[in-house]
Amino acid sequence: MAKTATRFAFARNSIVTFLAVFLFLQSPVWAQSAQQQQEMESIRSVISATQPNMLIQSIAVSPVAGLYEITLENAQVIYASADARFFIPGDLYEAMPQGLVNRGEEKRNIVRAEKIAAVPESEMIIFEPESGRKATITVFTDVDCPYCRQLHGEIDRLNELGIAVRYLGYPRTGLDTETHYKMVSTWCAEDPKAMMTSATRGGNVPQADCDNPIARHYQLGREVGVTGTPALVLEDGTILPGYIPADTLAGYLLNPATP
Protein backbone atom coordinates (compact mmCIF):
# COMPACT_ATOMS: atom_id res chain seq x y z
CA MET A 1 0.00 0.00 0.00
CA ALA A 2 2.81 2.41 0.91
CA LYS A 3 4.65 1.61 -2.33
CA THR A 4 1.50 2.27 -4.37
CA ALA A 5 1.00 5.65 -2.69
CA THR A 6 4.66 6.56 -3.31
CA ARG A 7 4.37 5.65 -7.00
CA PHE A 8 1.18 7.67 -7.30
CA ALA A 9 2.77 10.73 -5.66
CA PHE A 10 5.85 10.45 -7.92
CA ALA A 11 3.68 10.18 -11.04
CA ARG A 12 1.54 13.11 -9.97
CA ASN A 13 4.61 15.31 -9.30
CA SER A 14 6.11 14.35 -12.66
CA ILE A 15 2.91 15.33 -14.47
CA VAL A 16 2.74 18.65 -12.64
CA THR A 17 6.39 19.40 -13.48
CA PHE A 18 5.86 18.48 -17.13
CA LEU A 19 2.78 20.70 -17.39
CA ALA A 20 4.61 23.61 -15.74
CA VAL A 21 7.54 23.36 -18.17
CA PHE A 22 5.20 22.93 -21.14
CA LEU A 23 3.14 25.98 -20.21
CA PHE A 24 6.29 28.06 -19.68
CA LEU A 25 7.64 27.12 -23.11
CA GLN A 26 4.33 28.19 -24.62
CA SER A 27 4.22 31.44 -22.68
CA PRO A 28 4.81 34.87 -24.30
CA VAL A 29 7.91 35.37 -22.10
CA TRP A 30 9.66 32.33 -23.58
CA ALA A 31 8.46 33.07 -27.11
CA GLN A 32 9.63 36.69 -26.81
CA SER A 33 13.04 35.64 -25.54
CA ALA A 34 13.51 33.20 -28.41
CA GLN A 35 12.40 35.84 -30.92
CA GLN A 36 14.80 38.38 -29.43
CA GLN A 37 17.68 35.95 -29.69
CA GLN A 38 16.84 35.35 -33.35
CA GLU A 39 16.63 39.10 -34.04
CA MET A 40 19.95 39.77 -32.31
CA GLU A 41 21.62 37.03 -34.36
CA SER A 42 20.21 38.58 -37.53
CA ILE A 43 21.63 41.96 -36.56
CA ARG A 44 25.01 40.41 -35.81
CA SER A 45 25.01 38.59 -39.16
CA VAL A 46 24.18 41.75 -41.12
CA ILE A 47 26.96 43.74 -39.42
CA SER A 48 29.48 40.93 -39.91
CA ALA A 49 28.60 40.68 -43.61
CA THR A 50 28.51 44.42 -44.38
CA GLN A 51 30.95 45.87 -41.83
CA PRO A 52 33.51 43.14 -41.05
CA ASN A 53 35.83 45.62 -39.31
CA MET A 54 33.10 46.68 -36.88
CA LEU A 55 33.76 44.64 -33.76
CA ILE A 56 30.69 44.00 -31.60
CA GLN A 57 31.00 43.75 -27.85
CA SER A 58 27.34 43.16 -27.08
CA ILE A 59 23.79 43.41 -28.40
CA ALA A 60 20.94 44.10 -25.99
CA VAL A 61 17.33 45.21 -25.93
CA SER A 62 17.16 49.02 -25.81
CA PRO A 63 14.68 51.12 -23.81
CA VAL A 64 12.81 51.79 -27.08
CA ALA A 65 10.50 49.05 -28.33
CA GLY A 66 11.70 47.59 -31.61
CA LEU A 67 15.28 48.85 -31.27
CA TYR A 68 18.37 46.96 -30.18
CA GLU A 69 21.44 48.55 -28.61
CA ILE A 70 24.78 47.49 -30.08
CA THR A 71 27.97 48.26 -28.16
CA LEU A 72 31.10 48.32 -30.31
CA GLU A 73 34.74 47.75 -29.40
CA ASN A 74 35.47 51.47 -28.99
CA ALA A 75 32.58 51.80 -26.49
CA GLN A 76 30.43 53.54 -29.11
CA VAL A 77 26.76 52.57 -29.27
CA ILE A 78 24.53 52.25 -32.33
CA TYR A 79 20.93 51.10 -32.62
CA ALA A 80 19.30 48.66 -35.01
CA SER A 81 15.71 47.85 -35.92
CA ALA A 82 14.44 44.40 -34.97
CA ASP A 83 14.38 43.31 -38.63
CA ALA A 84 18.06 44.31 -39.04
CA ARG A 85 17.21 46.69 -41.89
CA PHE A 86 17.86 50.05 -40.25
CA PHE A 87 20.88 51.16 -38.23
CA ILE A 88 21.04 54.44 -36.33
CA PRO A 89 24.40 55.87 -35.22
CA GLY A 90 24.50 58.28 -32.32
CA ASP A 91 23.18 58.51 -28.81
CA LEU A 92 19.74 57.81 -27.42
CA TYR A 93 18.31 60.54 -25.19
CA GLU A 94 15.44 60.08 -22.74
CA ALA A 95 13.27 62.95 -21.55
CA MET A 96 13.38 63.02 -17.75
CA PRO A 97 12.18 65.59 -15.18
CA GLN A 98 15.75 66.91 -14.90
CA GLY A 99 16.08 67.23 -18.67
CA LEU A 100 17.34 65.06 -21.53
CA VAL A 101 19.49 62.16 -20.30
CA ASN A 102 22.07 60.69 -22.69
CA ARG A 103 21.51 56.95 -22.36
CA GLY A 104 24.27 56.19 -24.86
CA GLU A 105 26.87 57.99 -22.77
CA GLU A 106 25.58 56.25 -19.65
CA LYS A 107 26.27 52.93 -21.36
CA ARG A 108 29.78 54.01 -22.36
CA ASN A 109 30.49 55.14 -18.80
CA ILE A 110 29.59 51.69 -17.48
CA VAL A 111 31.85 50.00 -20.03
CA ARG A 112 34.75 52.37 -19.26
CA ALA A 113 34.44 51.93 -15.51
CA GLU A 114 34.40 48.13 -15.80
CA LYS A 115 37.39 47.98 -18.14
CA ILE A 116 39.51 50.38 -16.13
CA ALA A 117 38.61 48.64 -12.87
CA ALA A 118 40.12 45.48 -14.38
CA VAL A 119 43.55 47.15 -14.70
CA PRO A 120 45.70 46.49 -11.62
CA GLU A 121 47.15 49.57 -9.99
CA SER A 122 50.56 47.90 -10.16
CA GLU A 123 50.50 48.73 -13.89
CA MET A 124 49.89 52.43 -13.26
CA ILE A 125 52.08 55.32 -12.19
CA ILE A 126 50.16 56.74 -9.23
CA PHE A 127 50.53 60.07 -7.45
CA GLU A 128 48.81 59.54 -4.11
CA PRO A 129 47.56 62.25 -1.70
CA GLU A 130 49.35 62.09 1.64
CA SER A 131 46.11 62.78 3.49
CA GLY A 132 44.20 59.95 1.79
CA ARG A 133 42.01 59.80 -1.28
CA LYS A 134 38.92 61.94 -1.56
CA ALA A 135 38.61 61.19 -5.27
CA THR A 136 40.50 59.32 -7.96
CA ILE A 137 41.06 60.11 -11.62
CA THR A 138 42.63 57.77 -14.14
CA VAL A 139 44.49 59.68 -16.83
CA PHE A 140 45.52 58.41 -20.24
CA THR A 141 48.67 60.45 -20.76
CA ASP A 142 51.46 61.08 -23.25
CA VAL A 143 54.73 62.50 -21.92
CA ASP A 144 55.20 64.56 -25.11
CA CYS A 145 51.68 66.05 -25.01
CA PRO A 146 51.71 69.77 -24.03
CA TYR A 147 48.39 69.60 -22.18
CA CYS A 148 49.45 66.43 -20.36
CA ARG A 149 52.51 68.33 -19.20
CA GLN A 150 50.33 71.21 -18.06
CA LEU A 151 48.10 68.83 -16.10
CA HIS A 152 51.09 67.13 -14.48
CA GLY A 153 52.45 70.54 -13.55
CA GLU A 154 49.53 70.73 -11.09
CA ILE A 155 50.00 67.24 -9.66
CA ASP A 156 51.02 68.59 -6.25
CA ARG A 157 47.91 70.76 -6.09
CA LEU A 158 45.69 67.84 -7.10
CA ASN A 159 47.22 65.68 -4.37
CA GLU A 160 46.89 68.52 -1.86
CA LEU A 161 43.16 68.63 -2.66
CA GLY A 162 42.89 64.88 -1.98
CA ILE A 163 42.77 63.72 -5.60
CA ALA A 164 44.77 60.63 -6.54
CA VAL A 165 46.08 60.61 -10.11
CA ARG A 166 46.59 57.23 -11.75
CA TYR A 167 48.43 57.33 -15.07
CA LEU A 168 47.95 54.97 -17.98
CA GLY A 169 50.22 55.26 -21.00
CA TYR A 170 48.68 56.41 -24.28
CA PRO A 171 51.25 57.48 -26.91
CA ARG A 172 49.22 59.61 -29.33
CA THR A 173 51.54 58.77 -32.21
CA GLY A 174 50.77 55.07 -31.78
CA LEU A 175 52.88 52.04 -30.96
CA ASP A 176 56.47 51.53 -32.16
CA THR A 177 57.07 55.28 -32.26
CA GLU A 178 59.55 57.51 -30.46
CA THR A 179 56.94 58.58 -27.91
CA HIS A 180 55.92 54.96 -27.33
CA TYR A 181 59.48 53.98 -26.46
CA LYS A 182 59.90 57.08 -24.30
CA MET A 183 56.84 56.02 -22.31
CA VAL A 184 58.14 52.46 -22.02
CA SER A 185 61.36 53.92 -20.60
CA THR A 186 59.32 56.01 -18.14
CA TRP A 187 57.40 53.00 -16.87
CA CYS A 188 60.58 50.92 -16.71
CA ALA A 189 62.66 53.54 -14.89
CA GLU A 190 64.00 52.80 -11.42
CA ASP A 191 61.69 55.54 -10.10
CA PRO A 192 58.76 55.84 -12.54
CA LYS A 193 57.14 58.75 -10.66
CA ALA A 194 60.30 60.82 -10.73
CA MET A 195 60.84 59.95 -14.39
CA MET A 196 57.26 60.93 -15.23
CA THR A 197 57.82 64.34 -13.66
CA SER A 198 61.15 64.76 -15.44
CA ALA A 199 59.73 63.66 -18.81
CA THR A 200 56.77 66.04 -18.58
CA ARG A 201 59.22 68.87 -17.92
CA GLY A 202 61.07 68.05 -21.12
CA GLY A 203 63.92 66.25 -19.39
CA ASN A 204 65.96 63.45 -20.91
CA VAL A 205 64.46 59.98 -20.57
CA PRO A 206 67.22 57.35 -20.49
CA GLN A 207 66.32 54.31 -22.54
CA ALA A 208 65.02 51.42 -20.49
CA ASP A 209 63.03 48.30 -21.20
CA CYS A 210 61.08 45.80 -19.15
CA ASP A 211 57.84 43.84 -19.15
CA ASN A 212 55.60 46.89 -19.50
CA PRO A 213 51.86 47.62 -20.00
CA ILE A 214 52.02 50.50 -22.52
CA ALA A 215 50.65 48.50 -25.47
CA ARG A 216 47.81 47.21 -23.27
CA HIS A 217 47.03 50.71 -22.05
CA TYR A 218 47.00 52.01 -25.60
CA GLN A 219 44.58 49.30 -26.71
CA LEU A 220 42.40 49.94 -23.68
CA GLY A 221 42.27 53.64 -24.53
CA ARG A 222 41.07 52.83 -28.03
CA GLU A 223 38.41 50.51 -26.59
CA VAL A 224 37.00 53.08 -24.19
CA GLY A 225 36.90 55.96 -26.66
CA VAL A 226 40.08 57.93 -25.97
CA THR A 227 40.78 60.19 -28.94
CA GLY A 228 43.38 62.51 -27.45
CA THR A 229 45.38 63.25 -24.34
CA PRO A 230 45.06 63.90 -21.55
CA ALA A 231 41.86 61.92 -21.16
CA LEU A 232 40.60 61.96 -17.59
CA VAL A 233 38.35 59.09 -16.57
CA LEU A 234 36.37 59.45 -13.35
CA GLU A 235 35.44 56.62 -11.02
CA ASP A 236 31.98 56.26 -12.57
CA GLY A 237 33.47 55.99 -16.08
CA THR A 238 32.76 59.56 -17.15
CA ILE A 239 35.49 60.82 -19.50
CA LEU A 240 36.69 64.41 -19.45
CA PRO A 241 38.89 65.18 -22.46
CA GLY A 242 41.71 67.68 -22.25
CA TYR A 243 43.40 69.74 -19.56
CA ILE A 244 41.31 71.01 -16.65
CA PRO A 245 42.84 73.29 -13.97
CA ALA A 246 43.30 71.53 -10.64
CA ASP A 247 40.89 73.68 -8.63
CA THR A 248 38.20 73.48 -11.30
CA LEU A 249 38.57 69.72 -11.44
CA ALA A 250 38.46 69.44 -7.64
CA GLY A 251 35.26 71.49 -7.55
CA TYR A 252 33.68 69.09 -10.03
CA LEU A 253 34.85 65.95 -8.25
CA LEU A 254 34.36 66.98 -4.62
CA ASN A 255 31.31 69.22 -4.97
CA PRO A 256 29.35 67.75 -7.92
CA ALA A 257 26.21 69.69 -7.04
CA THR A 258 28.02 73.00 -7.37
CA PRO A 259 27.14 74.69 -10.69
Give a three-class secondary structure readout of the chain.
CHHHHHHHHHHHHHHHHHHHHHHHHCCHHHHHHHHHHHHHHHHHHHHHHHCCCCCEEEEEECCCCCEEEEEECCCCEEEEECCCCCEEECCCEEEECCEEEEHHHHHHHHHHHHHHHCCCHHHCEEECCCCCCCEEEEEEECCCCHHHHHHHCCHHHHHHCCEEEEEEECCCCCCCCHHHHHHHHHHCCCCHHHHHHHHHCCCCCCCCCCCCCHHHHHHHHHHCCCCCCCEEECCCCCEEECCCCHHHHHHHHHCCCCC
Give the number of other CB atoms < 10 A from CB of residue 4: 8
B/e letters for 104-114, b = 16+ CB within 10 Å, e = fewer, are bbbbbbebbbe
Given 108, 112, 144, 148, which residue is catalytic? 148
Is residue 145 annotated as part of the catalytic site, yes or no? yes
Given 108, 144, 145, 166, which residue is catalytic? 145
Given 142, 144, 149, 166, which residue is catalytic? 142
Is residue 210 annotated as part of the catalytic site, yes or no? no
Is residue 144 annotated as part of the catalytic site, yes or no? no
Is residue 83 annotated as part of the catalytic site, yes or no? no
Catalytic residues: 142, 145, 148, 172
